[in-house]
Amino acid sequence: MKPEELRNTATGTSIGVLTSGGDAQGMNAAIRAVMRTALFAGATPYAVREGYQGMIDGGDGITQLSWEDGSGILGKGGTAIGTYRCKEFTTREGQLTAAANLIEKGIDRLIVIGGDGSLAGLNEFHENWPDLIEELTDQNRITTDQAKAHPALICAGLMGSIDNDLVGTDMTIGVDSALHRIRDAMDAISSTAASHQRCFVVEIMGRNCGYLALAAALCGGGDYLLIPEVPPEDHWEQTMVDQLKRSRQAGHKDSIVVVAEGAKTRDGQPITTNQVRETLEQGLNEEVRVTILGHVQRGGTPSAYDRWAPTWLGFEATAHVLTATCTQPPEVFGLRGEQIVRLPLDKAIPETRSVATLINDAQYDQVLDMRGTEYRHLLGVFNELTNPERTEPKKTDKRIGIIHAGALAPGMNTAAATATWLGISRGFQMVGINDSFVGLAEGRLQELAWKDVDAWAYEAGATLGTRRHTPVVEELYAISRALETAKIDALLIIGGWTGYNTASIINIERSRYPGLQIPIAAIPVAIDNNLPGTVMAVGADAALNHVVESIDQVRMSASANRRCFVIETMGRNSGFLALMGGLAGGAEQVYLPEKPITMESLGQDITWIKKSFDDNGRSFFLAVRNENASKNYTTDTIAHLLDEEGQGRYDTRTLIIGHTQQGVTPTPADRLLATRLTETAITHLATQITNHDTSITCVGTSHNAITLTPIDQAMAAMDPDAQRPQDPWWMPLKSILDSLNREQSTH
Using CA atoms, how far apart are residues 401 and 392, in angstroms rounded to an integer?
19
| CB closer to ligand ADP, 24 vs 538 | 24
Whole-angstrom distance, CA of residue 533 vs CA of residue 507: 16
Inter-residue contact 258 to 379 (CB < 8 Å)? no
Query: Residue type for 188, please?
Result: A
> At its nearest, how many Å lie between ligand ADP and the CB of residue 260?
17
620-626/589-591 β-pairing: parallel
Question: Helix (H, G, I), strand (E, B), or coil: what is residue 352?
Answer: helix
Element at 371 (helix H, strand E):
helix 364-371
Minimum Å distance from CB 58 to ligand ADP?
Answer: 16
* CA 258 from centroid of its chain's CA atoms: 22
Q: How far apart, in whole angstroms, are the C-alpha atoms of residue 423 and residue 427?
A: 6
Q: How many angstroms separate the CA atoms of 717 and 435, rounded?
A: 29
Task: Give phi and psi for 620, each to the nearest 5.
Answer: -145, 135
CA distance 672 to 214: 10
* Residue 332 phi, psi dihedral angles, 5° rounding: -100, 135
How far apart CA 406 and CA 685 sit, in angstroms, is 21
Phi, psi values for residue 472, rounded to 5°: -85, 165
**C-beta of 347 vs 469, nearer to ligand ADP:** 347
Q: Which residue is nearest to ligand ADP (CB)?
A: 117
Closer residue to ligand ADP (CB): 126 or 546:
126
Select 52 or 382, whichever has its Cβ closest to ligand ADP. Answer: 52
Q: Residue numbers of the site for ligand ADP (CB under 6 A)?
A: 20-22, 51-52, 85-86, 89-90, 114-118, 120-121, 124
Least distance from ligand ADP to the Cβ atom of residue 524, Å: 36
Q: Shortest gap between Cβ of 212 and ligand ADP (angstroms)?
A: 15
- Tell me how far, at minimum, the Cβ of 89 lies from ligand ADP, in Å: 4
Q: Which is nearer to ligand ADP, 21 or 210 (CB)?
A: 21
SS3 labels along 115-162: CHHHHHHHHHHHHHHHHHHHHHHHCCCCCHHHHHHCCCCEEEEEEECC
Please name every residue paired with 491 in a beta bridge, in sequence order, or none if there are none.
401, 520
21 or 585: CB nearest ligand ADP = 21
**Nearest distance from residue 70's CB to ligand ADP, in Å?**
23
Q: Is 230 exposed, middle or buried (0-12, 13-18, 19+ CB in 10 A)?
A: middle
Pick between residue 127 and residue 712 the one whose CB is nearest to ligand ADP: 127
Q: Given the residues 23, 57, 69, 163, select the one marked as catalytic.
A: 163
Which is closer to ligand ADP, CB of 81 or CB of 120?
120
Nearer to ligand ADP, 367 or 419 (CB): 367
As measured in angstroms, the least distance from the Cβ of 28 to ligand ADP is 16
Q: How far apart are CA 576 and CA 716, in angstroms?
A: 20
Question: What are the angstrom distances between the C-alpha of 315 and each of 51, 60, 311, 334, 743?
Answer: 20, 25, 6, 12, 16
CA distance 126 to 567: 45
CB nearer to ligand ADP: pick between 116 and 743: 116
Nearest of 167, 91, 122 to residue 21 by alpha carbon:
122
Min dist. Cβ of residue 315 to ligand ADP (A): 22
- C-alpha span between 293 and 678 (Å, rounded): 29
Least gap, CB of 55 to ligand ADP (angstroms): 10
Q: Is 170 a catalytic residue?
A: no
Residue of 300, 315, 139, 218 whose CA lies nearest to 669: 218
Q: 3-class SS at 256?
A: strand
Q: How many CB atoms lie within 10 A of CB 717?
A: 12
Of 172, 255, 250, 258, nearest in space to 213 by CA: 258
The number of beta carbons lying within 10 Å of the beta carbon of residue 705 is 14
* Cβ at position 449, least distance to ligand ADP in Å: 47
β-pair type (520-524, 696-702): parallel
Residue 122 CB, shortest distance to ligand ADP, in Å, is: 8
Burial class for 615, CB neighbours closer than 10 Å (0-12, 13-18, 19+): exposed
**Cβ closer to ligand ADP: 228 or 585?**
228
* Strand 331-336 relative to strand 339-344, pairing: antiparallel
Helix, strand, coil share (%) of the chain residues, nearest 5: 50, 20, 35
Least distance between ligand ADP and beta carbon 166 (Å): 11
Closer residue to ligand ADP, CB minimum distance, 111 or 737: 111
**169/630 with CB nearer ligand ADP:** 169
The per-residue DSSP string of 407-423 comes to S--TTHHHHHHHHHHHH
Cα separation, 556 vs 686, in Å, equals: 51
At closest approach, how far in Å is the CB of 51 from ligand ADP?
Answer: 6
Q: Which residues are catalytic?
A: 163
